[in-house]
Chain A
Amino acid sequence: METSQNIQETLSSNEIMLNLTDLKKVYPTPNGDYVVLEDLNLYVKKEEFITIIGHSGCGKTTMLSMIAGLNEITDGKISILGSSIKGPGPDRGVIFQSPSLMPWMTAMENVMLGVNKVFPHGNKKEREDICKYYLNKVGLSGAFHKKASELSQGMQQRVGIARAFAIKPKVLLLDEPFGMLDSLTRGELQDVLIEIWNKEKITAVMITHDVDEAIFMSDRVVMMTSGPSAKIGDILPIEFERPRSRKKVLAHNDYYEYRKHLINFLEH
């Protein structure tokens, strides 16, 4: 943590997109307060992709939903470009673990729901073009008008990705977005996500359980200690060049060093 603080001091404040300072979350229970997060400090630079890894129940999702504004902050501060967040808002796009599409709407309508909100001034054609652009990007050019309930899990999550990018958020929050998919689909969707991200370079915070996913996707892997009172345990910068290819990453010598480092942390 000391290292992270030091780096932060050397960065000028306008390079930091998202900043969590002394974040604390307490859930009251019948047996007294339960402290989920305490003294959590983390910053994310502009155009940075970080992943958060840690044991189940350590408070990763709590932290992410606090950033999203869906969960109240007990103490501390979350700020985007220097200003504190107040509740949820379209400057933070969220991709949930379950696709969370409205099953009664088509793929297009689902994406449109957010686009309408963010670009209320554009005409219908323009808004539709935005939706189409992102649906094409996630490989759903043939399924614009399919009902969400008719799409497979993988395709639904593609719509979820399109919906999140289409509102052009400042920060993208991903809560184990591929956790419910089989490993083949997961690989495909990682490629889809990273490809669209390479273009848009939206600051992203992603929770994952998958060490390989974390190394492949992110610039830094943030390791959280186990709860209660979870905080940042360690941060591992991943120095691979972008755009990355899975093959090259896997063949790189550092890959196994990174992997060992992460697994070591998780096992202790």
Chain B
Amino acid sequence: MKDSLLRAFRFLGLGFLEPVVRLAAGEDSKKNVIQIFKKVLAPIASMILFLGIWYTGSKSLYNKEANYAIEKTRSERGDAESEKTRDCIASGDVSCQPNTLPSPKQVWNSFQLLLEDHRQISANKEAFIVKTSALNKKRLEQGKDPIVYTGRPSFVDQIKTSIKTVFAGFLLAFLFATPIGIIIGLSETLRNSFNWLIQILKPVSPVVWLLLVFMIVKTLTKDSTGDTSYIISFISVGLCSMWATLVNTAVGVSSVDKDYINVAKVLKLGTFQKIFKVILPAALPLIFTGLRITLSVAWMVLIAIELLAQSPGLGSFVWEEFQNGANDSNSKIIVAMFIIGFIGFLLDQIMLTIQKLISFDKGSDV
């Protein structure tokens, strides 16, 4: 029971809870208490420290902005007006709040608000679907397109769109870069002939990729009336992120341990068997490292690309909030920042778990 629980925790990346489990199971209490302190309490302490620094920082920025606003009114409109501004700021009225780095509490409130907003929008959507279902059935019979909900997407919807885009881009990178990487890795001639291209294209900025994809997709989709921004953004994400997989796969395939190759030669394995039984399994750890980098790069550039391509998702959410300049915009941006970070971390954990499942090299969990 205890051991399987520990294994499950370790598998899920929750290894830090190990001493808690051991303590609960009644093992050596002194050792485990020390372990709990090291693995559980120390991270909590660092979190508190982080929040503390954030809080003081935002407080001092807030005061600076407030004082500046008061001084400005004083110099422009006199003492009486400046007193009014001071009172207004102190009262917490939204109309005169300084616009700066939000405090942890404001961010938390915004997070709650966004969730509430999501609940409301979902409810609206459901109500809309119920309301239009009868009508849609009739329209379907008449051969017309059904009426769909076109209201504003909620924050959660934006997250879903972003994840969908990143997976489409990742899949594209995977399907494109792994086979090419394998082929290039197998042949030294191909490697030499394409190296320049890879080296030149690899460092190109996401923005330029986006523009390039835009040029091509725009022409290709001349006849269609649909929204191409989604296609453009996922193709750009794929193109930006595939290089890590391409290079890692090529290196992994070309640098398989000489011993394994010798064994394959001595046993005179056919090309097919040699590739699938020896070279690919041996290169798998490096291929996976590449895929992990690809996924994290994909997630990272996604935000910038969505922002520029005007395609829905977290990127456009952040950009709209920034343009919006409403009172709680800043805290919504910070909420988005944490969500982006958290999802990025989660994606990496998923990749790590898959890697552990299918790769022989159990040692690489960095």
Show the binding face of A for B, using Cβ within 8 Å.
68-70, 87-90, 92-94, 96, 98, 100, 102-105, 113-114, 117, 147, 149, 167
Contact = CB atoms under 8 A, between A and B. Distances in A.
B291 interface: no
A99 to B, nearest CB: 9
A147 B259 CA distance: 18
Nearest to B278: A102
B259 A117 contact: no
A188 B277 CA distance: 31
Given A100-B260, A102-B278, A102-B281, A149 B360 contact: yes
26 contacts: A69-B265, A70-B266, A88-B268, A89-B268, A90-B267, A90-B268, A92-B266, A94-B262, A94-B263, A96-B259, A96-B263, A98-B259, A100-B259, A100-B262, A102-B260, A102-B263, A102-B282, A104-B282, A104-B360, A105-B281, A113-B263, A114-B267, A117-B268, A117-B269, A147-B360, A149-B360
A103 B360 contact: yes
Nearest to A115: B267
Interface residues of B, number: 19
A6 B260 CA distance: 40
Given A70-B265, A104-B359, 8 more contacts: A68-B266, A88-B266, A89-B266, A90-B268, A94-B263, A100-B259, A113-B263, A113-B269
Contacts of A103: 360-361
Nearest to B281: A104
Q: Which of B263, B265, B266, B361 has the most CB of A within 10 A?
A: B266
Nearest to B269: A117
B262 to A, nearest CB: 6
Contacts of A90: 266-268
Contacts of A69: 265-266
B323 to A, nearest CB: 52
Interface string B343-366: 000000000000000011110000
A87 B362 CA distance: 35
A87 B282 CA distance: 24
A13 to B, nearest CB: 26
A85 to B, nearest CB: 12
Contacts of B267: 90, 113-114, 117, 167
Nearest to B358: A104
A114 B259 CA distance: 15
A157 to B, nearest CB: 13
B252 to A, nearest CB: 14
Contact of A93 (B259, B266, B269): B266
Contacts of A100: 259-260, 262-263
B360 A88 contact: no
A88 B262 CA distance: 9
A93 B263 CA distance: 10
Contacts of A117: 267-269, 273
A9 to B, nearest CB: 32
Interface in B238-278: 259-260, 262-263, 265-269, 273, 277-278
Q: Which of B360, B361, B362 is most buried by chain A, counting CB atoms within 10 A of its CB?
A: B360
- Among B267, B269, B277, B359: residue with most chain A CB under 10 A: B267
Contacts of A88: 265-266, 268
Nearest to A65: B262
Contacts of B260: 100, 102
A136 B362 CA distance: 28
Contacts of A167: 267
Nearest to B267: A114
A98 B262 CA distance: 12
Contacts of A92: 266
Chain B CB within 10 A, most for which of A92, A96, A113, A167: A113
Contacts of B268: 88-90, 117
Interface in B316-366: 359-362
Contacts of B259: 96, 98, 100
Contacts of B360: 103-104, 147, 149
A68 B268 CA distance: 11
Contacts of A105: 281
A161 B250 CA distance: 33
Nearest to A147: B360
* Residue among B260, B268, B273, B361 with max Cβ neighbours from chain A (10 Å): B268
A90 B281 CA distance: 23
A103 B364 CA distance: 15
A147 B281 CA distance: 13
A117 B361 CA distance: 26
Contact of B277 (A93, A113, A147, A149): A113
B88 to A, nearest CB: 69
B266 A94 contact: yes
Contacts of A94: 262-263, 266
Contacts of A104: 281-282, 284, 359-360
A100 B263 CA distance: 7
Interface in B80-111: none
Nearest to A94: B266
Task: Across the A-B interface, give the 5 residue pairs with the lowest CB-CB distance, nearest first.
Answer: A104-B360, A100-B259, A104-B281, A88-B265, A114-B267
Contact of A70 (B262, B273, B277, B281): B262
A105 to B, nearest CB: 8
B361 to A, nearest CB: 8
Listed residue (A69, A100, A149) with the most chain B CB atoms within 10 angstroms of its CB: A100
Nearest to A117: B267
A69 B264 CA distance: 12
